[in-house]
Structure 1
Amino acid sequence: MKWVGLTGGIATGKSTVAKILRDLGLPVVDADYLSREVTRPGAKGYEEIVKHFGPGVLLEDGEINRARLGEIIFQNEDKRRILEGLLHPLIQERRAQERRNLEHKNCELAFYDVPLLFEKKLESEFDATVLVYSRIEEQKLRLKERDGLSDEQIEARLAAQLPIDEKLKLADYIILNHGNIADLKMNVQSVVKELQN
């Protein structure tokens, strides 16, 4: 099975690309989903978050308040590193399980959708890497419109990731996301075709 790391900067359209891949019948394992899975109430990641960040990061129903936790970690580099150190081993274990499941099903091509692929130096775990690329101005506009973030919040989130132009140099394949959805679908199909050869 060809195991492909799919990444992009925040608000580059990675989730849209993952949906297009799924619509093409290709399996996509989502790191964010695995993160939510290991941090649901009762899971080990949940317990670790409450232990290190306190009950102030919980909603009234006991779920993790992701918005509050995000505020904390994007304003404090040390706390972000602590959170990543707690969750990444748990997510890595789940990722390996998902990969084994797909290999058992004899999949020929599968993707792992992971925002911090290059930041966490995960390239060696994949047969290829694909970057969803948008210009920084487009990222900022999407973050403002989609998430209603302030300029300061946008800069903090962008600073937590490797600059998109640096990721561009590291990726094996690039999916450009500058135009409309039809152009994006064509770009995705083109990269899939290359990966299948």
Structure 2
Amino acid sequence: MLRIGLTGGIGSGKSTVAGLLAERGAVVVDADRIAREVVEPGTPGLAAIVDAFGESVLAADGSLDRPALASVVFTDPAARARLDAIVHPLVRERSVQLIAAASPDAVLVNDVPLLVETGQAGTYDLVLVVQADLETRLARLVERGTSREDAHARIAAQATDEERRAAADVVLDNSGTLEQLAEQVDRFWQEHVEPARG
């Protein structure tokens, strides 16, 4: 099994790269998707978040009110650390289950937004970093409904581009078009994945 750690700052286009890799046959384990799954209504994860932050982080339907929680944790490092201590172990546990279910000869892509921040780079055969210039990332986040101020705060809360590049085996630049990104993914697959698979 070839294990690839895929990461990039918020708004860099990491999910797009994960999709392109899946089209080429990779098994993608998406930490963001799992992070949403482990805090769905009725889960121990959501109960722990409510215990830590109060009912104000719940929406009217009993689900997690992500913007309300984000407004607390992205401006308070101690609050973010409390949230991470709840969610990260649950995400790791579920990831282990999904990885165990993959074929032994799979190309396994772990899509991990905080791969560098959590010190996981050394656990992969290859670390693939997606980057895009700051203005492109901000525009993407604003397009998704995030205020420019919140977008800046979220970017500032993550590792820097330099820190991610230092952990990377390969860096993809997603400041251009989807076609340009797809060409880079093709090149990565041909130069790194196919030789590793023998």
Q: Specify the TM-score bucket, using the shorter chain as the normaliser.
A: over 0.9
Of 170, 173, 186 in structure 2, the residue corresponding to residue 173 of structure 1 is: 170
- Residue type matched to 2:90 in 1? L
Aligned partner of 1:18 in structure 2 is 18
Aligned partner of 2:9 in structure 1 is 9
The RMSD of aligned alpha carbons is 1.3
Q: CA deviation at 1:146?
A: 3.1
Q: CA deviation at 1:144?
A: 2.5
Aligned partner of 2:104 in structure 1 is 106
- Residue type matched to 1:24 in 2? R
Structure 1 residue ranges (4+ consecutive) displaced by more than 3 angstroms after TM superposition: none
Distance 1:144 1:116 in 2: 21
Task: Note the alpha carbon deviations across 1:9-45, whole angstroms, 9 max, x for none.
Answer: 1101111111111222221110011111111112111
Of 139, 149, 154 in structure 2, the residue corresponding to residue 157 of structure 1 is: 154
User: Could you tell me whether the CA contact under 8 Å between 1:27 and 1:111 is conserved in 2?
Assistant: yes
- Residue type matched to 1:66 in 2? R
1:45 pairs with 2:45: yes
Distance 1:119 1:175 in 2: 19
Task: Note the alpha carbon deviations across 1:82-112, whole angstroms, 9 max, x for none.
Answer: 000111111111111111111xx23431101
- Within-5 A mapping of 1:1-197: 1-102=1-102, 105-150=103-148, 152-193=149-190, 194-197=192-195
Count of paired positions:
194
Task: Note the alpha carbon deviations across 1:35-88, whole angstroms, 9 max, x for none.
Answer: 111111121111100111111111111100111111111121110000001111
Gapped regions of structure 1 (runs ≥ 5):
none
- What is the SS of the residue equivalent to 1:111? strand
Task: Note the alpha carbon deviations across 1:127-167, whole angstroms, 9 max, x for none.
Answer: 111001112222122223333412x2122111110112321
| Percent of aligned positions that are identical | 37
Gapped regions of structure 2 (runs ≥ 5):
none
User: Could you tell me whether the CA contact under 8 Å between 1:136 and 1:164 is conserved in 2?
Assistant: no
- Residue type matched to 2:78 in 1? D
Distance 2:64 2:111 in 1: 22
TM-score, scaled to structure 2: 0.93
User: Could you tell me whether the CA contact under 8 Å between 2:12 and 2:137 is conserved in 1?
Assistant: yes
